[in-house]
Structure 1
Amino acid sequence: MRFRLLIPLLVIFSEITAKAQTTEQDIIKELIENMAENLPEDYDFSELEERLLYYRSHPVNLNHTSVEELKTLLFLSPLQIHNLFEYMKRNGKLIDIYELQAIEGFDTETVQRLMLFVSLDQNTINDRITLYNVLKYTHNDLIIRYERVLEKSRGYEVLPGNRYLGTPDKYLFRYKYNYSNRISASLIFKKDAGEYLFNGPKQYPFDYLSTHVALFKIGKFKKIVLGDYSLQFGQALTLWSGFAFGKSPEISSMVKNGMGLKPYTSSNEYAFLRGASATINLFKNIDLTPFISYRYLDATVTENSDGLKTISTINQTGLHRTSSEIKNKNSTSQLIYGGVVQYQLKNLNVGAIAYQTHFNNTFIPGTGLYRNFNFTGKDLTNLGTYYDFTYKNIYLFGEIGRSIHNGTAFINGLLVSLSSTVSAVALYRNYPENYHNFFNQALSETSEAVNEKGLYTGLKINPSKSWSFSVYTDYFRFPWLKFRVDAPSDGYELLAQANYTPRKSIKTVFRFKMKNKQLNTDKSVPFNYLEDVRTENYRTEIKWKFNKSWGFQNRLEMVRYKKGTANTEYGYLFYQDIEYSPLSSNLSANLRVAYFNTASYNSRIYAYEDDVLYHFTFTPYNGKGIRTYANLKYRLAKQLDMWARYALFNYNNVETVGSYLDEVPGNKKSDIRLQLRYQF
């Protein structure tokens, strides 16, 4: 009965008339929610948001831009970028921004997004590197953030054995400097909940410290970075650090837009390099990117009977709260050195990658049979080559990677514009079980692109300005065993989504997603066998603006989960978002009230939550209860902003919330977050 009442209400909401426009925050939220559903709950996407907000105030001049700059606008596909430059090559510089609508592959949605971040105006700021310019024409951004769970969890009690040794407070200090995209620098300190604040074991003085200095366009040197940096080349099979998006309704995101060398300014503590790198233009069409990195990593290190220290796993969480986590901190070192050569000529781009990784301790795989092909030893050499080629309306791309003395993996695909309203993607991947790589983030069903074969196909149709349709299918097979999968297995995934936008102020989304995979049976049997696990999600939502100050979002999502012959589990989530953001006021706010009811954690539903600037939350809703949160932003002065957030889970019929050290008594769990931002 509830569903019958909710759906008509959603339809009624979609008919409300408004005049408000799409904002950059709407686009950022939509991009992240669509493209990053499978990443960790508190993953730091600040680099993406910061870049788009920077372009909002410093628009890209389309008549004086480059392929590298447009790649940072992640909603543009390689084919769209190519078509833009081909259009200007034939017709000269753009005279009016609305010419974008005449370029092949630029649908209405893409043009609306792009117009927020680009212009045709000539940048009059002098970008010469002089002492006067770097002091006067600069952009400084300082963020200070505090957060904590208000209830005291079990981990902070005086317990025998494992417990949290630090305080429940979480801090972030982040300073960034930028001069006209010619010089950049950053300094980041972070302390997670449960960690020591000052003077804890193995910290100086905060638990996490990151910094960099970068120079751009210095003679033959396109880029020079000292400190923390990331490398993103090809299709993420051989060398890719930092974040990479997975499967989503944005089917063009399946094609990686490698940005090469870039400074690392995220608070994520694992996927980056530390040392020095540069991109050098050797000849007209040939660039060289040599690099060297030396880091200490968290690892589980044990000593065998011969006194040899060995590594079983690398820990990627960056958490150092308990005695065991602190023991594992910086317990092994990683040295990486190598280079990338890239050749680009008109429609062809080809690159070659070679690098060596050395650890001071030896990797020894565990005893599980599924670990039989895991990496062993101290040294690993990776080689790879990648390409992309554009011919008319077809974009071909691929990469081959090899770990020396081990496996060879490859990925190949094409992106094609079938007409002005239809585009398609097809991608085949083959990652053998003995392919070893510590910087591999290619498209895959699991967290590691290894022991997998798959075929992905996607289609996007924009029949009118109001309607767009996206659909993809992905069939995957795992030739060897996996954790909790004691035999070769396979599965498939299907997503179909329809967007209806009758006005710029109203957007309705209908989505169906289904995944079928195999896991060991839960039954007590002499030998494990595999059972199909099928999860279906049904979603309908409406985003609408009542006027320039008030916005609303409603979502209803239902899930169906079934494993083998066990009883089917059901769950649903309904929420109402309210946003208040008047242009003439220093105050803005948003609020969510959500009701959820799922049978167990298996039928959980993930949803993106609005948060303070540069912080993103993907929350799993499971069990039964109500979720509320409120965000408040207030401009204290022209260059000083403050954010405050309060969030609460109120569960029904439970005596505790959470598990193990994160367990809190009662049926409520709440947290606060405070942030200051000073721009100067």
Structure 2
Amino acid sequence: MKRFNFNIKCVEFSLHKCLLYFFLVGAFYSFGQTDVDQKNEIIEQRVEYLVDNAEESDVDYTTIFEQLSFFYDRPLNLNRAKLIELKELSLLTDFQINNLLSHIEENGKLMTLEELQTIDGFDKSTIQFILPFVKVTSNVDSPQLSFNELLNNGTNQLFVRYQQIIEEKKGFSDITDSALTASPNSRYFGNEARIFTRYKYNYGNYLSFGVTAEKDPGEDFFNGTQKNGFDFYSAHFFLKNQGKIKQLAIGDYQAQFGQGLTFWSGLAFGKSADIMSVKRSAIGLKPYTSVDENLFMRGAGLALKFDKIEVTTFYSRNKVDANIDYSDSTLVQDEVLSITSIQQTGFHRTVNELEDKDAITKQTIGGHLAFMTRKLNIGFTGVFNEINAQFNPNLQVYNQFRNTKSEQTNLGIDYNWIYKNFNFFGEFAQSIEAGKAIVAGALINLDTRLALSVLYRNYDRDFSPIASAGIGENSVNENEKGLYFGIVAKPLNKFTVSAYYDQFVFPWLKYQINAPSNGYQYLAQLTYKPSKKLEMYLRIKERRKGENTDIDLTEGIDYTVYRKQTNYRYNLSYQVSPSIKLKSRVELINSHLEETPTEVGYLIYQDVVYQSLKSPFSFSFRYGIFDTDSYNARIYAYENDVLYAFSIPAYYNRGTRTYLTVRYKIRRGLDVWLRYGLTYYDNVDVISSGLEEIQGNTKSEIKAQIRFKF
């Protein structure tokens, strides 16, 4: 297959031309769109915002999906929505929320959704965007619900999911007993299946409780090393807005405050074409229903509201995986005295992984005190974290300032202030006996057609976050300074321009960067949406960061060179009929490291989505072609999956990617999903490495899920 450099060459493969012609011709179709399509489109867009800067493709987005799905199934009544509920919707800015509540205070309850057009910040596109998730009703009173009412009139959901890679991985292949005895970590204990189940009850947005369980591929199931069935169990009880109780969490939960510096457990939006998402919108406590075995807290949290004062306190005690340092520790009454690192994978498939399981206990206790009005919030956060082991990490020059103590305390202050068309926000955090971190930003609405965002960040090299999610280039909020500018403009009714530029500096060394370095990232996107029926956008995104040279040096240390990666994307979605939607994408990438040849790649795919309100059957199909020079030129793309599951693979090497996801509604409250995905490579004979190695050039997966709703 002919290679290309899209600076001087073009794609000449005939099938590629056919795909390009196919989706360009489809742009002339224009038919109606269902609410189901809008829901899936918005959820997909939100998840893709997170993926824009992701380096991993297996992150669990269940909580985000559930949040939007909840409001789709039970639209939020804007006439009685509280400030916290409008923030949880995560589709409106603080400007829009403030203007909406002010309008209701001054003019009374909304009569129709069309009245939103009279409120500053709510243009036609914004109203269309939130329409599936909100409503206006004449029932404007918010009744005080009894506990019996909450229990007797709720919704129950039970999910069971099975998935498996069809091809045999090395970790599951046959091996003799003698070879396994000689190398006990050379095979997985369990079978190839990943099994997931979850039961959840909820009454509106007031009460929820449930249990989640998962077994990863390679882990035992009701035998061997796992007699208790699933390897991971999670349970939660969550109560909201009952008298003085704003939030009550028991079991597994997450806590998020300020701009994510002092304490933030779970995921947060990164830099994206949605420039307003650069600001964090913390909602305090929320239940945890995902299966990531690290991004949650286990214990209890309580938030109380007294007029303009909110008090939150939380405690967590959780067993976590850790690498035991046998060279410097002894075991006394089964207590690990020394560890080198905390494990993050959640896998327990081999002897070594099982030895690390629940090795230590981590305790976290903290609180948040806030003065809150609609226009001004000031909060104080304090968190204490402790592990019952000596922490002896393998320190290098680049990470010598990281925390090595078993105890850690962080304090912080955050603010959010709306003044006319300005929204100022920020947070200052201090690690006791260590460094500090600061974020300060502003969102500016100059006009209904023009908005700006600016954010400054400064994270000391010795700042020691306990659980943080501040905006930044690093995976950890440390050793970074940056200045971000963003703009969104609507020069014409059917066009939107979104862009940002982020300049950053790393004052100290980093992993695989043996000197202080700097870089930049920018994104520019032009979106054309003439109606509900058709939307397309063009995007260019570029990032330049330092790396150690790839050149082998016989003397001296590695010096820093810079890698520039540029992505070009054209995306199109259009409706062929009220039931059929086509989505197409072309993405090109240039990845160039100084002193080395440019690595290039491309991805072209066509999606066909069928969803009909009149039929119990729906499906999503993709056929894609990709060709990249290396893993450095990989391209991530979101894939439709079964409900509450996510697939965001990295496309690299050369080949094709096909998947089909089918849903069938057997009867009311009973749905079945089936999914089959196949990746074919025409330039490799071995896929992956180690125990994940597959002999051959195909990798396929099956997935089945059933949901009971009653």
TM-score in terms of structure 1 length: 0.97
1:455 aligns with 2:483: yes
Q: Please say if residues 61 and 122 of structure 1, whose CA atoms lie closer than 8 Å, have aligned partners that are also in contact.
A: no
1:138 corresponds to which residue? Answer: 154
Q: How does 1:156-555 map to 2 (within 5 A)?
A: 156-157=172-173, 158=175, 160=183, 161-201=185-225, 204-281=228-305, 283-305=306-328, 307=330, 309-525=337-553, 526=555, 527-555=557-585
User: Counterparts of 1:395 and 1:301 in 2: how far apart (Å)?
Assistant: 47
Shift in Å, 1:127 = 6.1
1:597 corresponds to which residue? Answer: 627
Q: Which amino acid aligns with 1:310?
A: S
User: Counterparts of 2:110 and 2:323 in 1: how far apart (Å)?
Assistant: 57
Q: Please say if residues 275 and 293 of structure 1, whose CA atoms lie closer than 8 Å, have aligned partners that are also in contact.
A: yes
Q: 1:535-571 deviations in whole A, cap 9, x for unaligned?
A: 1100001100111111101111110111012111111
User: Counterparts of 1:202 and 1:169 in 2: how far apart (Å)?
Assistant: 14
Shift in Å, 1:636 = 1.0
Q: How does 1:537-576 map to 2 (within 5 A)?
A: 537-576=567-606
Q: 1:365-401 deviations in whole A, cap 9, x for unaligned?
A: 3142112111111100110010000001100000000
Unaligned segments of structure 2, at least 5 residues: 1-9, 331-335
Q: 1:513-541 deviations in whole A, cap 9, x for unaligned?
A: 00000000011112100111011100001
User: Counterparts of 2:226 and 2:579 in 1: how far apart (Å)?
Assistant: 49
In angstroms, what is the RMSD of aligned CA positions?
1.8
1:41 corresponds to which residue? Answer: 57
1:610 corresponds to which residue? Answer: 640
1:675 corresponds to which residue? Answer: 705
User: Counterparts of 2:552 and 2:532 in 1: how far apart (Å)?
Assistant: 56
User: Counterparts of 1:306 and 1:44 in 2: how far apart (Å)?
Assistant: 35
Aligned partner (choices 42, 45, 61) of residue 30 of structure 1: 45
1:12 corresponds to which residue? Answer: 25
2:146 corresponds to which residue? Answer: 129
Aligned partner (choices 67, 74, 82) of residue 83 of structure 2: 67
Q: How does 1:648-659 map to 2 (within 5 A)?
A: 648-659=678-689
Shift in Å, 1:54 = 2.0
Q: 1:161-208 deviations in whole A, cap 9, x for unaligned?
A: 432221110011111111232221010000111111124547743111
Worse overlay, 114-123 or 167-176: 114-123
Shift in Å, 1:624 = 0.5
Q: Which amino acid aligns with 1:19?
A: G
Q: Please say if residues 31 and 75 of structure 1, whose CA atoms lie closer than 8 Å, have aligned partners that are also in contact.
A: no
SS at match of 1:429: strand
Q: 1:570-590 deviations in whole A, cap 9, x for unaligned?
A: 111100101111220010011
Worse overlay, 645-654 or 209-218: 209-218
Q: Please say if residues 412 and 427 of structure 2, whose CA atoms lie closer than 8 Å, have aligned partners that are also in contact.
A: yes
SS at match of 1:461: strand
User: Counterparts of 2:241 and 2:132 in 1: how far apart (Å)?
Assistant: 26
User: Counterparts of 2:145 and 2:520 in 1: how far apart (Å)?
Assistant: 53
User: Counterparts of 1:164 and 1:54 in 2: how far apart (Å)?
Assistant: 38
Q: Structure 1's 130 and 221: CA in aligned 2 closer, same or farther, altered over 3 A?
A: closer
SS at match of 2:577: coil
1:645 corresponds to which residue? Answer: 675
Shift in Å, 1:306 = 6.5
User: Counterparts of 1:427 and 1:107 in 2: how far apart (Å)?
Assistant: 25
2:3 corresponds to which residue? Answer: none
Q: Please say if residues 303 and 309 of structure 1, whose CA atoms lie closer than 8 Å, have aligned partners that are also in contact.
A: no
User: Counterparts of 2:599 and 2:353 in 1: how far apart (Å)?
Assistant: 36
Worse overlay, 316-325 or 230-239: 316-325
Q: 1:320-349 deviations in whole A, cap 9, x for unaligned?
A: 112111111111111111211011134110
Q: 1:64-93 deviations in whole A, cap 9, x for unaligned?
A: 011110112222222221221122223222
Q: Which amino acid aligns with 1:409?
A: A
Shift in Å, 1:267 = 1.4
Shift in Å, 1:245 = 1.2
User: Counterparts of 1:491 and 1:276 in 2: how far apart (Å)?
Assistant: 42
Q: How does 1:41-120 map to 2 (within 5 A)?
A: 41-120=57-136
Q: Structure 1's 509 and 306: CA in aligned 2 closer, same or farther, altered over 3 A?
A: closer
Shift in Å, 1:142 = 1.0
Q: Please say if residues 623 and 659 of structure 2, whose CA atoms lie closer than 8 Å, have aligned partners that are also in contact.
A: yes
User: Counterparts of 1:48 and 1:467 in 2: how far apart (Å)?
Assistant: 28
Shift in Å, 1:463 = 2.5
Worse overlay, 144-153 or 659-668: 659-668
Q: Please say if residues 328 and 338 of structure 2, whose CA atoms lie closer than 8 Å, have aligned partners that are also in contact.
A: no
Q: Which amino acid aligns with 2:641?
A: D
Q: Please say if residues 237 and 250 of structure 2, whose CA atoms lie closer than 8 Å, have aligned partners that are also in contact.
A: yes
SS at match of 2:263: coil
Worse overlay, 10-19 or 369-378: 10-19
Q: Please say if residues 450 and 487 of structure 2, whose CA atoms lie closer than 8 Å, have aligned partners that are also in contact.
A: yes
Shift in Å, 1:219 = 2.8
Aligned residues: 678
User: Counterparts of 2:328 and 2:654 in 1: how far apart (Å)?
Assistant: 50
Q: Which amino acid aligns with 1:52?
A: L
Unaligned segments of structure 1, at least 5 residues: none
SS at match of 1:618: coil
Q: Which amino acid aligns with 1:79?
A: F
Q: Please say if residues 80 and 142 of structure 2, whose CA atoms lie closer than 8 Å, have aligned partners that are also in contact.
A: no
Q: Please say if residues 665 and 672 of structure 2, whose CA atoms lie closer than 8 Å, have aligned partners that are also in contact.
A: yes
Q: Structure 1's 92 and 261: CA in aligned 2 closer, same or farther, altered over 3 A?
A: same
Q: Which amino acid aligns with 1:497?
A: Q
Shift in Å, 1:444 = 1.0
Q: Structure 1's 137 and 126: CA in aligned 2 closer, same or farther, altered over 3 A?
A: farther
Q: Which amino acid aligns with 1:295?
A: N
1:660 aligns with 2:684: no
2:5 corresponds to which residue? Answer: none
Q: 1:395-449 deviations in whole A, cap 9, x for unaligned?
A: 0000000110000110000001010111111000000110001211111112111
Shift in Å, 1:666 = 0.9
Shift in Å, 1:7 = 5.3
User: Counterparts of 1:396 and 1:305 in 2: how far apart (Å)?
Assistant: 49
Q: Structure 1's 200 and 338: CA in aligned 2 closer, same or farther, altered over 3 A?
A: farther
Q: Please say if residues 98 and 374 of structure 2, whose CA atoms lie closer than 8 Å, have aligned partners that are also in contact.
A: no
